[in-house]
Structure 1
Amino acid sequence: MLEKRVPPLLLVLFVGAAMWGIATLTSPVPLDDTLRKVAAGVLFVVGALFPVAGLVAFRRARTTVDPRTPEASSALVCSGIYRYSRNPMYMGFALWLLAWGVYLGSGWGLLGVVFFVVYMNHFQIAPEERALRALFGDQFRAYEQRVRRWL
């Protein structure tokens, strides 16, 4: 089973490589090069802020950052960026892939972002949430009601 088996950063690299492959096989979207590169840069920088803020919040709470072992969590982190997204690190990774797709100028390549989100929802986030519900019970359920999964 794939649940929590593929480290999210490895998945980002795999999807990014697939997006590049698709971009080489399809026609680019006609966009001004400067606009495309600036937009990709902005998306990448904004995307980088999410995982950094997530890591900072996890370090402050002194809990695990390993997404393969959510059952090892020692604290439910609801502060900082986690007030706005239950998965800011994954949100940042999705923005990186979006930035990559924009940079490549490939409309079809952007399907990689969709694949990443669907895969993460099913094989990573849902199992993490089950583990956190088991660990933190009503506290996590209340958090789920307050804060969206992605943004």
Structure 2
Amino acid sequence: MRSLELKVPPVALLLVFVVASWLIALGFPAYNFALPYRHYIALIVCALGFIFALLGVHAFRRAGTTVDPRIPQQTETLVVKGVFGVSRNPMYVGFLLALIAWCLWLENGVSVLVIPAFIVYMNQFQIKPEERFMQAKFGADYTQYTLAVRRWL
């Protein structure tokens, strides 16, 4: 299973889960539902996700560290301020919000099953390997950070 760790860019993973939810919605039309104002709700949730993710990217760039999680050895700085004071993984929270928005847009009860699958995949194959690296590189500082800030929200 470790062969999947840090191999796929998170944006590509998001697209895989978006397509999967769409295919599920197409395959199970009996589970469609009507959500009043779904367009507005989905757009607001997606915009919040986009902003959250961009704030994370901006914080990394300001700190002069890599935004590519597939190469954690290029991490130069432990970023703990700004949006990283709210979540240890703001870009992934942003992706999760975008996926939630998409599922709301689809209005299909079965398509939402991709949401917990996304969280499980990201925890196992993205976040935990990143955390192992960060722990090894930043030691006690990273431990303190993990005690103060949650993984997701």
TM-score above 0.5: yes
The CA deviation at 1:28 is 4.2
| 1:15 paired residue among 14, 17, 22 | 17
Structure 2 length-normalised TM: 0.95
Of residues 32, 42, 45 in structure 2, which corresponds to 1:43?
Answer: 45
Residue among 21, 42, 55 paired with 2:57: 55
Distance 2:33 2:25 in 1: 13
Unaligned runs of 5+ in 2: none
Secondary structure of 2:37 counterpart: helix
Aligned CA-pair RMSD: 0.9
Name the counterpart of 1:71.
73
Q: Give unpaired runs (5+ residues) of structure 1.
A: none
Deviation, 1:70, is 1.3
Aligned to 1:86: 88
SS of the equivalent of 1:150 reads coil
Q: Which residue of 2 aligns with 1:30?
A: 33
Q: Which runs of 4+ in 1 moved over 6 A?
A: none
Identity rate, percent? 45
Q: Using the TM superposition, give the Cα deviation of residue 29 of structure 1 relative to its aligned residue in structure 2, in angstroms.
A: 3.4
